[in-house]
Structure 1
Amino acid sequence: MSEATTQFRSGFACLVGRPNTGKSTLTNALVGRKVAIASSRPQTTRHTVRGIVNRPDAQLVLVDTPGLHKPRTLLGERLNALVLSTLGEVDAVGVCLPADERIGPGDRFLVNEIAKVRRRPTVAIVTKSDLVDPNRMVEHLTAVAAMTKDTGVEWDDIIPVSAQDGTRVGKLADLLVGKLPPGPPLYPEGELTDEPEEVLVAELIREAVLEGVRDELPHSVAVLVEEMGLREGRPQDRPLLDIYAHLFVERPSQKAIVIGAKGRRLVEVGTTARRQIETLLGTPVYLDLRVKVAKDWQRDPKQLRRLGF
């Protein structure tokens, strides 16, 4: 076997796309474990969450970005800036274009923005391939290939995948790894994300809120973990992790929606989030959730800084 085929590769690949195109679900599928929250609500991701794919021949660091969109708030502007700055720092870009939605102005806007950044390997990833029949897939792949004329971005590869059933997820990992430079591992072996535990916990709580309230609440929930630590005095074989977190909404009416009648909805959110956190951290959890109103926090620079944006 030649040296070229055995050389270890490492680097960063950024997954980008419009909101709700399957970026976070695909990140989790590639990593093999949940490191990014995935909700049916658009614009769920608010951080560049790094998921680490460890292989014998490579370490692929996936950067799952917020969905690029036309911003209506200061938060939206900052999320878009985060995406564009990330594009300039990675070794490869994967553009997620869901098979069950036709190519539209938002996709062309996104690809045009990519064209403005320095050239790097770019893969068109047709997500949600399990949701369409073969005829629709051929039509969509043709439309994706035709984007080159409109945008000037040359696709290095076009690949349909399904994060739900795993179709071609391994092949996608091979494609992205092949575009990384030779180099040693960037993170310790076995590490799956570089996100701080407090951030992961806050994201899991927010995911539970978004799914729990469905369409009743605008996309204006933020979560801040105020305190997190093992409870003192517990035996080593029976640890308990105490987590105290605040859920911020913009109006009193939204607070009422999150809490629900007689507090039932907040209890459901807490139960769902606690189970997810226990699965992630492998430790029994006591979770204390409080809902607070932070008026128009998405437009307030001071409050955005406090909430980590």
Structure 2
Amino acid sequence: MKILIVDDEPFTVEFLRMALEAFGFTNLESANSASEALAIVKKANDPFDCFLLDIQMPDMDGIALCQQLRTDPAYKRVPIVMLTAMSDRAHIERSFSAGATDYIVKPFQINDLMSRIDSAARLSRQIISADRLVRQIASACQGQATPLGLKFEDAISFDGTPGYLEQPTFRNYIERMERSQFRYGGVASVKLQNASDLFDCSTPQSFLGLLVEMSDVLSIALKFEDCHFTYGGSGCFLVVKLAPDKPKFQNEVEFLVKKELSRADLRYPESDNNPVNVSVGRVFRNASGEYGSIDETLARARKRVQRIYA
């Protein structure tokens, strides 16, 4: 991978260079400010595959730089990892909202950093496949082409939709937040009813078009609720909310989403034109209040809705 390190502390830049080179990453460049980083990106003959950004820098901070990078079509989906001493919820929230893929708090263990870099490398290798689906969504909405190889369980992306996070980023976001922030919040799933039957009887264009419209419904419905969502495949969206002091998380999500569905008058395609219905399920926590591993949480979110409303 070609990696750009951006940090105004020369010692940190040199440390990261040495650590990355020791683990086999040799295609490295560095910048001491956001403006220098943008200049390097602009002049680069080959695009970067990953960015490591500090937050606290003069002029433009790392979060603003992250947001700026995401406006470049070449870097819409490239991994951006924040490396920062800022551990408070506000900076984590702002970073992920700006498009960060992961967030590491200084001081960090070098093995942890390498693990995150390896995850970014795997994500980078998945970009071609994910971008294919993004292009298919765009062409499907315009009626230009039939997506090939689309499966019901595919975790499709919705580029540019406010509040949306890709699954790996969604997982990282949950892991970075303190568990206390989820005391009354957590993860819920919003599933299209009869989604499997709908997939079987619809064209790929129609099914993808419905998912795009549904992502817009969630984005609008949850705009002011401090929520993020992802699409987990199989007609199931997953919503995460930080709520340390509001105990009606699932009810709020269900009310807001169904209210926006009614307002948008979203209807099933190529069937009896009935209004779209969804089922909302809460992920159970264990006795200690923990959600376990993130992958298990996401799996339980999907199964919970399927078990209650199948």
Could you tell me the TM-score, scaled by structure 2's length? 0.32
> Normalization by structure 1: what TM-score?
0.32
The one of the two structures with greater contact order (alpha-carbon pairs below 8 A, sep at least 6) is 1
The structure with the greater share of residues assigned to helix is: 2
